[in-house]
Amino acid sequence: MDNSKYLDVFIEESRENLQSLNGMLLSLEERGFDEEGMNEAFRAMHTLKGTAGVIGIPSIQELAHVMEDLFDVLRRKRETPSRAVLEALFAGVDTIERMLGDLETTGATQRPIGDLACRIRAAMESAPVPAAVSAGTGGRFVLEKPQLDQIRDVLPEGNRAVLVTITWSEGLKFKEGRAYQVVKAISGLGSLLASSPDIEEVADPDEQLVLVLGTTSDDGTILDAVHDVTGVSEAALAPIDLCDRADAPAGPEDSRPSEKGEGEERRAGPSAGSSIRVKSKLLDKLLDLVSEIMINNIRINQIASDLKNRELKQTLQNNARLMGEMQDIVLRTRMVQVDFIFKRFPRLVRDLSLANGKEVEFIMRGTDIEIDRSLLDEIGDALVHLLRNSLDHGIEPKEDRVARGKDPRGTIILSAFQEQSNIIITVEDDGRGMDPERIVAKAISKGLIKSEDAERMDDRSKLQFVFLPGFSTSETISDISGRGVGMDVVKTKIESLGGFVRLDSTLGRGCKITLKLPPSMSIIRAMLIEVNDEKYAIPLENVRETVRVPLEAIHAVADRCVFQLRDEVLPVLNVRSEFGSLGSMASDMPAVIVEKNDSRACLLVSRLIGQQEIVVKSLGKDLRQAGYFSGATILGDGKVAMILDVGAFT
């Protein structure tokens, strides 16, 4: 059987399970043992092991099997594991992640796992499991008071509580299925109150299954039903002493009865068929098709307007409504929570903190904010770089923080929130901050600015030098912050997505980087203008207002023209002349006030056309290098209009 066609699904599901495991391990390290989290981790590893076996990837199956056994030991022991055990589990998660990467790129993985498997087995041997069941006097099994209370609460009236211990045949496979057969066999003889392990968590390494049963049936009937199940080697039954004596020894570790109806509630939840997995490439293709239909619709509307056919126009108006709904559904289908990418960062911060010898509290906020999947995929590397910078250059060593009266433990906050139609993501730390004077001194030494010009700059302007390629004030190269890679990488990436970056810093108190992103890169609202008989589009996000500028209101200051709009003096750029017009200017000119990265400018144009929803098309390398354009679109008349990059004018 060829399972290669399921490989993509296996990789995606396995990465989700690894994210869950990373989160549980981090919680275990910070907060100590959590029973629910540990059971979730065991289930995730159990699933990963099983699917790896079905797909036919023995190396992942073997490593996952060893890790599953260790998780089983830990959940039975109910104690926070040692640093060595945690590091072994982290190493196992990282190795499987790298193996998934191999599968994604080459379709196979040859990574050796022998040494790591031995290390995990050694960790398992260092954490022995306490006995699962202890007997009281007279062979009657007893439990702790909280367990007894729970059993009393759910035990049907007139029933007695018994404990059934099942030993599996040696070498038996698919024990989880056998366990379900046992439950089915005794379902008519009483109520299953608890099991150890949970029925859905039974694994092949388990030697026994312990059930707590409320029943009115006799012992022989119950044992006969259990023995009829293939794979059961032995079965023993003993009554449970419901006397809550303080000196009673511990009973089954995982015999936690559920509330009545819990199973029914679980089954009543969302069914497996209520959602499906769709490849992001298919969604991208679907959006492209919707975009093409929108372009055709705009063209047909233009033709209908020229023909002045009322019935055709009314039909097209209804069609436009349906198109809008379809576009909205497609865009919402592409939306995912930022937690999709945020959840990988706690592990990153934890590892970098240890490597850098710093104590850091990492806080994430707004993880339920939704964003276009294509945008989220693009900003991952930028966020990694910002977090690395905060750890390496921002957060000070513990002794330095204490000397400055700060908490020895630094704080990094990753936040996401919505502002109007935009998504805002911030990375904030309470570290040393950036020194504007040190930055400008470095800029002067590199010949980027003259000292007399620097004296006229405010602190915010001085900070902008960090976005220049190769600019760094660090005297040493660090592996953590990216070996000298500058913030220009972040700025270039975010601006290529139609967003912008803002830097705020207070020396000695910390730094904050703000990323502002559009809701989607594919379909936007724009202001259409005309320059020298050619039509252009300006993203509406960058348009502040439109005005008419009298020619006499434009003044020359130094080597540039400016225009005063109310209390603000704006630089003026005559786009007509910039794009080749040699004609004379009218007494007053239509203008668009544009803004990007907190900088504003006044663009003089030939004519204002109006607002329109446009489909963004990417540009070739040559046009991108021109600097003025961020994309292109097709208008209703079938002609191509360039989308202006406002950043080139501000």
314-363 pLDDT, tens digit each: 888 888 788 778 877 877 787 888 888 898 899 889 988 888 889 999 99
Average pLDDT estimate for 142-154: 69
Q: What is the pLDDT of residue 595?
A: 86
Q: Give the residue with greater pLDDT, 390 vs 4.
A: 390
Residue 53 has pLDDT above 70, yes or no: yes
**Distances in whole angstroms, Cα of residue 173 to Cα of each of 67, 203, 232, 236:** 18, 9, 12, 21
Q: What is the pLDDT of residue 11?
A: 87
Architecture of domain 337-517: 2-Layer Sandwich (3.30)
Q: How confident is the model at residue 426 (pLDDT cuts 50, 70, 90)?
A: very high
Q: What is the pLDDT of residue 474?
A: 60
Q: How confident is the model at residue 153 (pLDDT cuts 50, 70, 90)?
A: confident
Residue 125 has pLDDT above 60, yes or no: yes
Q: What is the pLDDT of residue 95?
A: 92
Lowest average pLDDT, out of 123-137, 520-534, 612-626, goes to 123-137
- Phi, then psi, of 141 in degrees rounded to 5: -80, 140
Residue 393 a catalytic site member: no
In this predicted model, what pLDDT tens digit does every residue of 92-104 receive, in sequence order? 999 999 999 888 8
Residue 365 has pLDDT above 90, yes or no: yes
Average pLDDT estimate for 288-313: 79
Q: How confident is the model at residue 247 (pLDDT cuts 50, 70, 90)?
A: very low
Q: What is the pLDDT of residue 275?
A: 61
Cα within 13 Å of Cα(551), Cβ side: 5
Q: What is the pLDDT of residue 138?
A: 40
Tokens of 168: 């599996």
The single residue of 17, 389, 542, 597 carrying the catalytic annotation is 389
Q: What is the pLDDT of residue 313?
A: 79
CA angle 175, 179, 185 (to 5 degrees): 140
The single residue of 39, 46, 428, 542 carrying the catalytic annotation is 46
Q: How confident is the model at residue 487 (pLDDT cuts 50, 70, 90)?
A: confident
- Percent of the chain beyond pLDDT 90? 11
Closest alpha carbon to 71 in 23, 123, 12, 29: 123
Q: Give the residue with greater pLDDT, 334 vs 428.
A: 428
In the CATH scheme, what is the code of domain 523-648?
A: 2.30.30.40
The single residue of 22, 40, 68, 201 carrying the catalytic annotation is 68
Lowest average pLDDT, out of 133-142, 188-197, 450-459, 560-569, goes to 133-142
CA distance between the termini of the chain? 61
Q: What is the pLDDT of residue 261?
A: 39
- Percent of the chain beyond pLDDT 70? 84
Q: What is the pLDDT of residue 612?
A: 82
In the CATH scheme, what is the code of domain 137-260?
A: 3.30.70.1110
Strand pairing of 640-644 and 534-539? parallel
Question: Which amino acid is it at 268?
Answer: A
Q: What is the pLDDT of residue 409?
A: 92
Residues in Cβ contact with 644 at an 8 Å cutoff, skipping those fewer than 6 apart: 536, 537, 538, 628, 629, 630
Q: What is the pLDDT of residue 621?
A: 60
Residue 270 has pLDDT above 50, yes or no: no
Average pLDDT estimate for 242-246: 52
Tokens of 162: 């018994």
Residue 300 has pLDDT above 50, yes or no: yes
Q: How confident is the model at residue 442 (pLDDT cuts 50, 70, 90)?
A: confident
**Distances in whole angstroms, Cα of residue 552 to Cα of each of 100, 548, 568, 590:** 66, 12, 17, 14
Could you tell me the fold of the domain covering 4-125? Four Helix Bundle (Hemerythrin (Met), subunit A) (1.20.120)
Q: What is the pLDDT of residue 149?
A: 73
Lowest average pLDDT, out of 156-165, 178-187, 425-434, 574-583, goes to 574-583
Average pLDDT estimate for 24-44: 85
Mean pLDDT of the chain: 80
Q: What is the pLDDT of residue 427?
A: 95
Q: What is the pLDDT of residue 407?
A: 92
Helix (H, G, I), strand (E, B) or coil at 486: coil
Residue 389 a catalytic site member: yes
Residue 479 has pLDDT above 70, yes or no: no
| Chain center to CA of 287 | 22
Q: What is the pTM of this model?
A: 0.63
Residue 86 has pLDDT above 80, yes or no: yes
Residue 40 a catalytic site member: no
In this predicted model, what pLDDT tens digit does every residue of 535-568 receive, in sequence order? 999 988 888 999 998 888 888 887 788 888 888 8
Tokens of 514: 């703000």
